[in-house]
Amino acid sequence: MKETKLWIDGQWQATEDSYKLISPYSGDVVAHVAKASIQDVERAIEGAQRTFQTFKKTTAYERAEILYRVVDIMRQRKEEFAEILALEAGKPLTAGLAEVERTIATYQFAAEGAKQAKGETVPMDAAPGAGDYIGWTKREPLGVISAITPFNFPFNLVAHKLGPAFAVGNTVVLKPATQTPLSALTMAEIFKEAGLPDGALQIVTGSGGELSDMLITHPYVKKVTFTGSGKVGLGIKEKVGLRKVTLELGSNAAVIVEPSTPIDKVIKRCVGGAFNFAGQVCISLQRIYVHASIIDEFTKAFVEETKKLVVGDPFDKNTDVSAMIHPNEIERIKEWIEEAQAQGAVMATGGVFTERTLTPTVMTNVKADMKIICQETFAPIVSIVSYETLDDAIRLVNNSDLGLNAGIYTNILSDALYAAEELQAGAVIINDIPTFRVDNMPYGGVKMSGYGREGIKWAIEEMTDMKFVTIKKSF
């Protein structure tokens, strides 16, 4: 039985308390995880602050080399990392390998970004009386960053916090999700091997509810970066004060399927977007708005493709969909489905529950105020809805408090560009599902889906301060 410790100042630190880590699929205890105290968190933050005083003085070249070494180490251990994801998150091996590949790319982008953090010259002589001045801006690291990450991409979403932070000389105190600490703790070993100075990365495991106040209000903390629920994100926003903050709070992502869409070419992609990792993805395809002229054909093809998916053990290479993260989530989504059915929704396929799994589920005849439409399901369930005009479809997509990614399939360029202007989302994906994301694009939402942007270039900007410098050429 694995027993974990905290990672503080480059050393493993034992704790008095621990909690049991339960496999989402088997229900077995897979580890006893160290449970940090408030004092442990404070110690980690203070250690990160001490290390920042020297780490901020390292060169861009040195920081990039550390990140490149992380990339090299991870490439040699991909299969091992995919197995960790299957164990602690219930992620099928194929999906786990895909996440690890993305994580490697994220750290590579961060290594390259370390050399690209730059300022600009300011034309001082454009202002009256300033012709004798030269001016420029530069980016400087903030200091200690608190990073709080979720369970669904425990390698890659951690990379989106650590990579850009280290690229520019910040230090980080990381609090991973209680369900997925093993992947984060593995990264401590990797960064140590790659040459990251002791104290630049601190990892505290335990209850977010117990530890978050210290993580977001300690005076040494200069930025909080959080991915998780809207309720928790709003609580963080209220407490951070003048600190910088980035919040990624999820969505109920939608795609519009216009009549010009070649259905046979997009069905498999849409099914994957809806059910990958049991729908537990912030931009999982949850709502599909299909033009009335093709909805019967689309729905039939979508249901047939959905029925091909294999539900089972994440360690089985044939598995497409495995367990949801916790039995409580099964109970929640079961209630949502039953509530929708009581209001007239029809289940086209799926809806078979065990204690830990739900077969991929397709709903039709849904209404805009049903929870399976208007809230984030975070489950293997998708709704297909008919519309008459493109304006109707855009109105239906926008009829939400959330707005992370949205997609549209169409062969008509003017309609694509029109939708890009009118859809209320952080990103509009044309001719692909809203689940599309690569790790060098800006990523973040509007409305209640978040605040700020990730993606290495943009995260670096949000993890630095701009300083302006000017010189008078003569006294």
**Sign (positive/negative) of CA torsion 175, 181, 185, 190?**
negative
- How far is 429 from 135, CA to CA, in rounded Å? 39
**Sign (positive/negative) of CA torsion 258, 262, 268, 269?**
negative
List the catalytic residue out of 248, 305, 329, 454: 248
DSSP codes of every residue in 345-387:
-EEEE---B-SS-B--EEEES--TTSHHHHS---SSEEEEEEE
Structure tokens at 36: 């940090």
Supply φ then ψ for residue 21, to 5 degrees: -95, 120
- How far is 103 from 326, CA to CA, in rounded Å? 24
Is 199 within 8 Å of 169 (Cβ atoms)?
no
- How far is 362 from 346, CA to CA, in rounded Å? 9
Tally Cβ neighbours within 10 Å of residue 51: 21
Helix residue spans in 168-283 (DSSP H): 181-194, 208-217, 230-239, 263-275
CB proximity list for 390: less than 8 A, separation 6 or greater: 256, 258, 415, 418, 419
DSSP letter, residue 454: B
List the catalytic residue out of 282, 305, 376, 454: 282
282 is catalytic: yes
Structure tokens at 451: 């605040």
Structure tokens at 147: 């990073």
248 is catalytic: yes
Place of tokens 């410098």: 469
**Sign (positive/negative) of CA torsion 379, 280, 150, 370?**
negative
- How far is 155 from 433, CA to CA, in rounded Å? 23
- How far is 131 from 127, CA to CA, in rounded Å? 7
Q: Could you list the active site residues?
A: 248, 282
